[in-house]
Amino acid sequence: DQQVKQNSPSLSVQEGRISILNCDYTNSMFDYFLWYKKYPAEGPTFLISISSIKDKNEDGRFTVFLNKSAKHLSLHIVPSQPGDSAVYFCAASAAGNTPLVFGKGTRLSVIA
């Protein structure tokens, strides 16, 4: 059973607009959430994280929102750039005692 779900396999956005990538989780013990970005033929790179004690974390163009009651988090990219085109993975862990659990990823295409 998938504990971390990214229900949209792909997303296409115009350059300059907002990209919103979504992630749902089922395990209420998860308390730390991360987003990774992956280009083809490269390893994933860490992008941004959020602890369950927060509901928002911002880093430049990237903002992660966490809605614990809905077990939902989202990554906002504003403004989107062609270089943001990649696969984005959501991941979660529980109390630092389990390895990260990854979603299946969402492929973002930013069109110029």
Cβ neighbors of 60 (< 8 A, separation 6 or more) are none
Separation CA 67–CA 75 (nearest Å):
12
| Span of 12-20, 62-70, 74-82, 91-99 interacting with another protein by CB under 8 A | 91-99
CB count in 10 Å sphere of residue 101: 17
Say whether residue 62 binds another protein (CB under 8 A). Answer: no
- H helix or E strand, kind and range, residue 45: strand 45-51
Q: Which of residues 20-59 bind another protein (CB under 8 A)?
A: 32, 34, 36, 41-46, 49
Identify whether the C-beta of residue 46 lies closer than 8 Å to the C-beta of residue 34: yes
DSSP letter for 24, please: E
Which residue of 12, 14, 26, 95 would you call a contact of another protein, by CB under 8 A? 95
Distances (CA, A) of 41 to 55, 84, 102: 33, 15, 19
- Cβ proximity to another protein, 79 vs 100, nearer residue: 100
Say whether residue 93 binds another protein (CB under 8 A). Answer: yes
- Cβ proximity to another protein, 14 vs 51, nearer residue: 51
- Cβ proximity to another protein, 20 vs 48, nearer residue: 48
Which residues of this chain interact with another protein, rule CB under 8 A?
A: 6, 9, 32, 34, 36, 41-46, 49, 89, 93-100, 102-105
